[in-house]
Chains A and B, each alone.
Chain A
Amino acid sequence: MTAISDFLVITKRQLLQLVRVPEVLLFATIQPAMFVLLFRYVFGGAINAGVKGGYVQLLMPGIFVQTVAFTLAATAVGLAADMQKGLIDRFRSLPIARSAVVIGRTVGDTAQNIVTLVVMGIVGFAVGWRPSGGLFKTALAFLFLLAFGFSMSWIGVIIGLSVRDERVAQNLVFISVFPLTFLSNAFAPTTGMPRILQYFAEWNPVSTMVAGCRELFGTTNHFGATAGSWPSQHPLAMSLIYMVLIVAIFLPLSVRKYKNASSK
């Protein structure tokens, strides 16, 4: 009972930060919105999407997934900053549940994603994106996106608590998440990639998520792999397996890491 109220206090703290410094949310939203516009108008003309409604139909699920994948960055950077400032030490000296701070953080970052996804959805709609999978499937897609962001956030916890420095965390997540989102079917067909990268892209959780969302939004996945591999045949199931695996591995690790976290 108190464990729940503890993590809610931590989550509330994060949401309060957005109220006190609205610029943070503003920029967190402007960046993906900018991506939507750039990709839509710069690449959209060059890439032959081959689907009804054009490139933007394939692009939107890709950008949605990329954005929630970057929850990892938000979590890692936020926690590294808290470590650096000694705030984690203070939390650890309080009589609160050991899991409260890390759960509060991941839930808070997920809550922030809701706002970002809504804004992106509106921008996407404005430039021609039209999900056609029906209301239920569309809602389910967004649920999948939030869940994926939540699971990525747990990887961020380990990174943030390990590097203990805001700037190091920033650089580290950038060079790891960016390739992950580009070595996928998110923005371009994987068929143009060298053989080995194709293989990687096929099993990449970002690809299975993008493929799954395209399915739910009612768009044929023209950027998917040609090979009939399991992940490309069952993208939603594969995504679900990835998410469960990530949380099952990283949640206990994170709580353990937090218990022994030391700012120096």
Chain B
Amino acid sequence: MSANKPGVSIYAHELTKTYRNGAVKALDGLTLEVEEGTVLALLGPNGSGKTTTVRVLATLLTPDSGYATVNGVDVVKHPDEVRKMIGLSGQYAALDETLTGWDNLNMFGRLYHLSSQGAKARAEELLEKFSLTEAAKRPIKTYSGGMRRRLDLAASLIIKPKVLFLDEPTTGLDPRGRQEMWGVIDELVKGGVTLLLTTQYLEEADQLADSIAVIDTGKVIARGTSDELKRQVGGERLEVVVESAQLTQTIEIVKSVAGIEPTVDQGLRKVSAAVNTGSTALVQVLRNLDDAQIHPLDIALMRPSLDDVFLSLTGHAAEEQKELDVKTKKRGGKK
């Protein structure tokens, strides 16, 4: 039905996939679509089905049921057609490490059936574009993690694909490598490529994607722009930090403005509550505090982070929790 919907580049309908004779359910009725020229981030924890989704869409894996199309072409029925249109860059740099960067690109160019001259020219062009010209004649073994990823991405761009799949493109990179990679991906997107990327970094989805599909236990549990998802969780959050002596009074003030019982962190002397009226509520609380001669040490109106979104949607994964907590602390403040 929607398989040939105009303007839809990637379409997946009710995909299911189990491993080990049904013991592990990797995909459980996953449906998604990516409009032409847009970026969709598939956001989810490890083992949620992100990689399996990419592998199905990139023709590497056959789903147990459901179907998927790329530019209207069925990935199971006509895999070779699909392979001619897509680029894939996986979690690991899939390169021949003993060969040089140039060797690798040249080889993949030939495998995409470029002429001998064409493959060479394209290799030079991509090395230049990804600032790898200097390292071109060195074996991949000697490359840094960031360089490998860039070369891996370059290899997936040989035929200038209209549709690109990037599976966790920055996992394992240091902050600088990640920034570089984001820059490169941004460029590509400006060039009009349709991109489906998977990530477990909320910040990355926020930064790169037009829309986000939150995936958990093999299905999409929420979908929307980063703003829409944040709104879904609720309005803004007001936080006030005061001296211990003034805590009780502050709680009363916040409660009267927000209309709900605020959360209190005794240790941090922090009072916080969800508010629907945004800055009006902020001003009101400040005014009431002033009247009571309370001078807050810190006061902030915060929009929910994607971390909040993620937790409120999945509400599980104790293991992920720790990691998210660390990140939330670092993020803080108003976005």
Contact = CB atoms under 8 A, between A and B. Distances in A.
Interface in B78-124: 80, 83-84, 86, 88, 90-100, 103, 107-108, 110-113
Contact of B113 (A2, A12, A262): A2
Contacts of B80: 95
Contact of A86 (B61, B83, B92, B111): B92
Interface string A241-264: 000000000000000000010101
A13 B90 contact: no
Contacts, number: 72
B309 interface: no
Interface in A9-41: 9-10, 12-13, 16-17, 20-21
A95 B88 contact: no
B197 interface: no
A262 B19 CA distance: 12
A87 B96 CA distance: 7
A195 to B, nearest CB: 44
A91 B86 CA distance: 13
A55 B180 CA distance: 64
Contacts of B62: 260
A86 B90 contact: yes
B110 A85 contact: no
Report, as a range, how many residues of chain B touch the other chain.
20 to 34
Contact of B98 (A21, A91, A95): A21
Nearest to A93: B88
Contact of B94 (A21, A86, A96, A260): A86
A85 B94 contact: yes
A5 interface: yes
Contact of B60 (A10, A12, A85, A262): A262
B60 A91 contact: no
B96 A13 contact: yes
B107 A13 contact: yes
A9 B99 CA distance: 14
A85 B97 contact: yes
Contact of A94 (B83, B91, B103): B83
A93 B58 contact: yes
Grouping DSSP codes into helix (H, G, I), strand (E, B) and loop, the A interface class, with mixed when no group exceeds half, is helix
A93 B83 contact: yes
A260 to B, nearest CB: 8
A17 B99 contact: yes
A93 B60 contact: yes
Contacts of A222: none
A140 B308 CA distance: 73
A95 B84 contact: yes
B99 A93 contact: no
Interface in A74-101: 85-87, 89-96
A96 B80 CA distance: 8
Contacts of B60: 89, 92-93, 262
B90 A20 contact: no
B99 A87 contact: no
B90 A89 contact: yes
Contact of A90 (B84, B88, B99): B88
Contacts of A12: 107
Contact of B111 (A9, A20, A260): A9
B229 interface: no
B59 interface: yes
Contacts of A86: 90-94
Interface string A161-200: 0000000000000000000000000000000000000000
A91 B111 contact: yes
Contacts of A94: 83, 108, 111-112
Contacts of A13: 96, 99, 103, 107
Contacts of B58: 93
B155 interface: yes
B139 interface: yes
A85 B51 CA distance: 15
Interface in A136-177: none
B111 A96 contact: yes
B101 to A, nearest CB: 12
Interface string A206-237: 00000000000000000000000000000000
A202 interface: no
Contacts of A2: 113
Nearest to B95: A87
B98 A20 contact: yes
Interface in B145-181: 155
Contacts of B99: 13, 16-17, 20
A109 interface: no
Contacts of A17: 96, 98-99
Nearest to A84: B92
Nearest to B152: A90
Interface of B: 51, 55, 58-62, 80, 83-84, 86, 88, 90-100, 103, 107-108, 110-113, 139, 155
18 contacts: A5-B110, A17-B96, A21-B139, A87-B94, A87-B95, A87-B96, A89-B55, A90-B88, A90-B90, A90-B155, A92-B59, A93-B88, A94-B108, A95-B80, A95-B83, A95-B84, A95-B112, A264-B51
